[in-house]
Amino acid sequence: MVYNHTTYTLSKNDLKMVKSVPPGGNWKNIPLDIPSKRLEQIRVSGGRTTLYGRLAFEKPSYTITTYFNRPGNGTYIHPIHDRVISAREAARFQSFPDSYVFRGSKGSFCKQIGNAVPPLLAFSIATQIKKKTNTKNLLDLFCGAGGLSLGFGWAGYNIIAANDNFKQACETYRANHEETVLIEGDITDKKIQDQLLEKSKKGKVDIVVGGPPCQGFSHAGKRMIDDPRNFLYKEFVNIVKKIKPKVFVLENVEGIMTINNGKTFEEIKNHFRELGYSVAGHKLHAVQYGVPQKRKRVIIIGTLTGNPEEFFPKPLICDEKNYISTKDAIGDLFHIEVVDQYSPIKITGKPKHFFQKFVRGLISPKEYIKSLS
């Protein structure tokens, strides 16, 4: 069954633009006689080639952001249909299985899915850390809809507790992680922190993971060095300081490496070094780990013992020709009609790719990863 296969309404003008863009095309294909002040600005400034983009059959998706409901904000036009991709199709590009049901409003799906860590990327990281350490009990901070928890859970970790302040993402997390204690609330609140510390102590947490908000670091929008959300990573540092786990994993956007001429990135790592951790940070390309999406993320790993460089997984796919394509990811949904946000739909027909088998629950994440070799 497929859930959340719902799309978003387009204006008449947006629909005209969408219809003029071929697979693999973008704003450059839109005729001049379609009025749009934004397009006029893009033509003058030479906007990114991903804007008003239509997905190409044989290539992966570009980064799924929190604006995949808007054709002008990226490459979100369906390869066949004259609409933007559905929430379920976006979730597949993020590597969420079809059984993972998103809760909340249809509008919130964009934020929940766009901000998530691809579970398959998390799985590769978790599997490698598992090989190098005896960690098993995990705390997930800034958990959102649960991408990190899902991937680490697949690798055999016990998710002891999680925290987020986004109500609708918390609804989704609870629906899909029933055995995990979710402490909903602002992590800057001492009461929330005390609850997290209490659960972590009882659960013998030995690894802390999380993706603090990253809007101020992102290349996708205005990069604001003084954005207050930039400093929430310090709450992550504070929790690590008090729990002193064997390992921590911090995920963020690639822009964190270059903002403030790289000083912010070094400052973050130094905060953990002052706590006694050996720290390493690298940019990982999700498409190289079986995710059908060109999504780059920075992963910072710290450890009290051992070399953190050894905790990073090696790429599974190094040749672009072997990347999981749009057709591989959502081809079996091409002729499934979109519905309202919660109605389940039965998929007819056999899966035609290992990725489709994986998201439909016919093979495990481990079996899918083996299929890539």
Counting DSSP H helices and E strands in the chain, the numbers are 13, 11
DSSP 77-128: E-SSSSSBPPHHHHHHHTT--TT----S-HHHHHHHHHTSPPHHHHHHHHHH
Q: Which of 110, 143, 214, 318 is catalytic?
A: 214
Q: If DSSP codes are grouped into helix, strand and coil, which group holds residue 258?
A: coil
How far apart, in whole angstroms, are the C-alpha atoms of residue 114 and residue 190? 29
Q: If DSSP codes are grouped into helix, strand and coil, which group holds residue 208?
A: strand
CB 26 within 8 A of CB 49: yes
| 143 in catalytic set | no
Place of tokens 């998103």: 102
- Residue-level length of the chain: 373
How far apart, in whole angstroms, are the C-alpha atoms of residue 129 and residue 279? 14
| 270 φ, ψ (degrees, to nearest 5) | -65, -30
User: Cα torsion at 371, 156, 209, 136 (round to 10°)?
Assistant: -140
- Residues marked active site are found at 214
